[in-house]
């Protein structure tokens, strides 16, 4: 059992890396941003409450976000652990996550900070295209689709996220610095933070993430056995 948090500014590559790690570890990747976007698309009550915050680049209030996450973590597919992408994003959410996992007899095992510079992030976000159907991310400069505008994986249409607009991007970065950056200190103090150089290419970042995870799995072999079918 292993619970992993991926931290990083919007555009750091967490979504791509979360998918790769999820395959490697056979664990679900839970991305709060995607859960919110799906709820907005379906116009559920949650989606209607979240939409205006997302459009402005603000965080959805903790109480709504934490409730959504607690419900998700209660599902059977999350029983062996989870890779969190985009959650927690505030210290209050991190404290709530400790409580939710604690009640399940679990804890956050490792927090991986995918660190990239502000200038790289602005470049990455402005060239980012997302599949409407499966959520896969592409980039017009270094990870483009084979057929223009069509997802290689599921054939869905690609579009640019509304909140990738330049003024919303800037706000999202400010929000990160204001509300999410303090989490780095929170987890550093707990001794579970590992810094990863997110400026490297996708494969190199993935390799470093795997190494960091493998190191903690070795420290806690009784809770998770690499090679037991999960971490091949």
Which residues are marked as active site?
Answer: 14, 89, 128, 161, 172
Pairing mode of beta strands 128-131, 137-139: antiparallel
Q: Could you tell me which stretch among 85-93, 116-124, 183-191, 204-212 binds ligand AMP (CB under 6 A)?
A: 85-93
Q: Is 180 in the site for ligand AMP (CB under 6 A)?
A: no
* Shortest Å, Cβ 88 to ligand AMP: 6
Ramachandran region of residue 106, left (φ > 0), alpha (ψ -120 to 50) or beta? beta
H and E: helices and strands count for the chain: 9, 8
Kindly tell me which of 120 and 223 has the beta carbon lying closer to ligand AMP: 120
Return the HEC string of 37-103. Answer: HHHHHHCCHHHHHHHHHHHHCCCCCHHHHHHHHHHHHCCHHHCCEEEEECCCCCHHHHHHHHHHHHH
Tokens matching residue 105:
């007899």
Q: Does 82 bind ligand AMP (CB under 6 A)?
A: no
Q: Is 32 in the site for ligand AMP (CB under 6 A)?
A: yes
> Per CB under 6 A, does 135 bind ligand AMP?
no
| Alpha-carbon dihedral 82, 87, 91, 94, rounded to 10 degrees | -20
- Beta strand 81-85 pairing with 29-31: parallel
**Cβ-based nearer residue to ligand AMP, 29 or 217:** 29
Q: Which of 38, 51, 53, 126 binds ligand AMP (CB under 6 A)?
A: 53
Q: How far is the CB of 175 from ligand AMP (least distance, A)?
A: 7
Residue of 154, 112, 133, 120 whose CA lies nearest to 18? 112
Q: Can you tell me which of 13, 28, 81, 86 binds ligand AMP, judged by CB under 6 A?
A: 86
**Cβ neighbours, 10 Å, residue 7:** 28
Does position 39 interact with ligand AMP (CB under 6 A)? The reply is no
Distance of alpha carbon 3 from the chain centroid: 13
Stretch that binds ligand AMP, among 83-91, 105-113, 135-143, 190-198 (CB under 6 A): 83-91
Measured from each CB, the residue nearest to ligand AMP is: 33
Rounded Cα gap, residues 82 and 40, in angstroms: 23
Among 30, 83, 89, 125, which residue sits at the site for ligand AMP (rule: CB under 6 A)?
Answer: 89
Q: Confirm or reject binding of residue 124 to ligand AMP (CB under 6 A).
A: no
Which residues contact ligand AMP by CB under 6 A? 10, 32-33, 36, 53-54, 57-60, 65, 86-89, 93, 163, 172
């Amino acid at each position: 059992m292993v619970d992993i948090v991926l931290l990083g500014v919007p555009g750091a590559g967490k979504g791509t890396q979360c998918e790769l790690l999820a395959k490697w570890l056979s664990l679900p990747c839970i991305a709060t941003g995607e859960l919110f976007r799906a709820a907005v698309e379906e116009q559920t009550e949650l989606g209607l409450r979240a939409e205006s915050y997302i459009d402005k680049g603000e965080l959805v209030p903790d109480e709504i976000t934490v409730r959504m996450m607690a419900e998700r973590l209660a599902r059977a597919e999350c029983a062996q652990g989870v890779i969190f992408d985009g959650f927690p994003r505030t210290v209050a959410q991190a404290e709530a996550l400790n409580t939710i996992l604690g009640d399940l007899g679990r804890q956050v095992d490792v927090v991986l900070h995918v660190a990239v510079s502000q200038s790289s992030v602005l470049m990455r976000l402005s060239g980012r295209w997302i599949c409407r159907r499966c959520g896969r991310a592409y980039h017009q400069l270094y990870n483009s689709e084979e057929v223009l505008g069509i997802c290689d994986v599921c054939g869905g249409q690609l579009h640019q996220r509304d909140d990738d607009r330049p003024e919303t991007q800037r706000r999202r970065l400010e929000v990160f610095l204001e509300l999410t950056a303090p989490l780095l200190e929170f987890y550093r103090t707990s001794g579970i933070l590992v810094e990863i150089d997110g400026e490297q290419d996708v494969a190199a970042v993935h390799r470093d993430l795997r190494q960091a995870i493998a190191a903690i799995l070795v420290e806690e072999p009784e809770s998770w056995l690499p090679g037991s079918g999960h971490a091949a």
